[in-house]
């Protein structure tokens, strides 16, 4: 039943509850059948393209551990990852067991930035102001020291390539963004090359290096080394697969992200044992840095390189490094 209103529009009445709705089948015309047939190959092609792209993305995410990493929030405490104890994490190797001994200090810097009133005692123990760091770099040059790299040391022992007189190595740990802001420009000013050891799960997190900053430092001639994935005490990891991921996995992540070979490793907190040293060799590193400072390196200890935290004042620096 239908009725018309004054606007001449037709409105259907509500169907009765016993009214059965007819099933009207839409009969496809020849035109719609033809259009459907033309659409099928296009749909199949689009679906195939989607599957290929999806498979490629899944493969990339699976293989690239950096983008497949679990949620991780590194500590913002700048003393949390530093070796600040006065005693080494390692037992000293007697100097008479060193083969082809070489007097070559390796300095480790953690924090280079202005000092803040609320800095803890632990932070103050390892922090340098930019002015002090600049003065140290000037002092090295004026006192007859020559800054070399871990690669120079490796080639000295493996290829008998001569080293500069009075060599010294500069290295930075943990990948703090302050190092990029304050230390990096000073290194460039003096023409020095330093090695920055980063743990990969900190990249792009607040207070740490971004990937873009790492690439900028590489382009300027700096060297990037691995400091593991999460900066744990490696000696406390009992699962061999987990240990391998920290040592070898971090190397692969950095190589994938930066497009360069990573040759150096620094043991977090300077802690290692025979198993860890063997893994560093197996992973393909050419050397690894510990923390026990003797100021002496040797051919049979390239994976147990001796290093020290840089003195935080100029007075201490001058006492430790006499003019040559």
The mean pLDDT of the chain is 83
Give the pLDDT mean for 164-176.
96
Q: Compute the radius of gyration of the chain from its Cα atoms.
A: 31
Where does the pLDDT of residue 80 fall: very low under 50, low under 70, confident under 90, or very high at 90 and above? confident
Query: What CATH number was assigned to the domain covering residues 95-320?
Result: 3.20.20.370
Give the pLDDT mean for 130-152.
97
Q: What is the pTM of this model?
A: 0.75
Give the pLDDT mean for 32-50.
57
Secondary structure (DSSP) of 206-263: TTB--HHHHHHHHHTT-EEEE--SS---GGG---HHHHHIIIIIHHHHHHHHHSS---
Write out the two tokens for 80. Answer: 């949390």
| Domain boundaries defined on the chain | 31-63, 95-320
Poorest-confidence range of 30-34, 160-164, 287-291, 310-314? 30-34
pLDDT at 4: 44
| pLDDT tens-digit map of 177-222 | 999 999 999 999 999 999 999 999 999 999 999 999 999 999 999 9
pLDDT at 295: 84
CA angle 178, 85, 129 (to 5 degrees): 30
Listed residue (242, 239, 240) closest to 229, CA to CA: 242
pLDDT at 81: 73
Higher per-residue confidence, 166 vs 3: 166
DSSP H or E stretch at residue 123: helix 121-124
Following CA atoms 256, 260, 261, 266 in sequence, which dihedral angle do they give, to the nearest 10 degrees?
Answer: -80
Percentage of the residues of the chain whose pLDDT score is greater than 70? 71
pLDDT above 90: residue 260: yes
């Amino acid at each position: 039943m239908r009725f018309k209103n004054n606007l001449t529009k037709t409105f259907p009445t509500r169907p009765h509850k016993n009214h059965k709705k007819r099933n009207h089948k839409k009969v496809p015309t020849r035109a719609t059948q033809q259009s459907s047939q033309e659409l099928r190959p296009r749909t199949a092609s689009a679906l195939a393209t989607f599957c290929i792209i999806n498979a490629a993305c899944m493969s990339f995410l699976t293989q690239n551990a950096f983008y497949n990493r679990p949620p991780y929030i590194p500590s913002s405490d700048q003393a949390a990852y530093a070796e600040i104890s006065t005693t080494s994490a390692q037992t000293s190797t007697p100097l008479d067991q060193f083969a082809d001994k070489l007097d070559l200090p390796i300095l480790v810097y953690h924090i280079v930035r202005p000092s803040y009133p609320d800095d803890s005692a632990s932070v103050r123990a390892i922090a340098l102001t930019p002015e002090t760091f600049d003065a140290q770099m000037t002092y090295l040059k004026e006192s007859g020291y020559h800054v070399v790299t871990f690669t120079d040391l490796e080639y000295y022992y493996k290829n008998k390539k001569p080293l500069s007189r009075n060599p010294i190595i500069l290295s930075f740990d943990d990948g703090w963004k302050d190092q990029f802001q304050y230390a990096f420009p000073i290194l460039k000013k003096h023409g020095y090359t330093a090695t920055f050891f980063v743990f990969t799960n900190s990249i792009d997190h607040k207070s740490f290096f971004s990937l873009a900053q790492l690439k900028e430092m590489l382009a300027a001639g700096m060297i990037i080394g691995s400091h593991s994935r999460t900066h744990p005490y490696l000696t406390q990891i009992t699962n061999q697969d987990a240990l391998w991921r920290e040592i070898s996995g971090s190397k692969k992540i950095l190589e994938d992200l930066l497009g360069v070979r990573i040759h150096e490793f620094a043991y977090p907190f300077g802690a290692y044992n025979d198993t860890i040293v063997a893994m560093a060799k197996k992973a393909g590193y050419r050397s690894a840095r510990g923390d026990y400072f003797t100021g002496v390196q040797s051919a049979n200890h390239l994976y147990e390189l001796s290093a020290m935290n840089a003195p935080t004042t100029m007075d201490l620096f001058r006492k430790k490094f006499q003019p040559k």
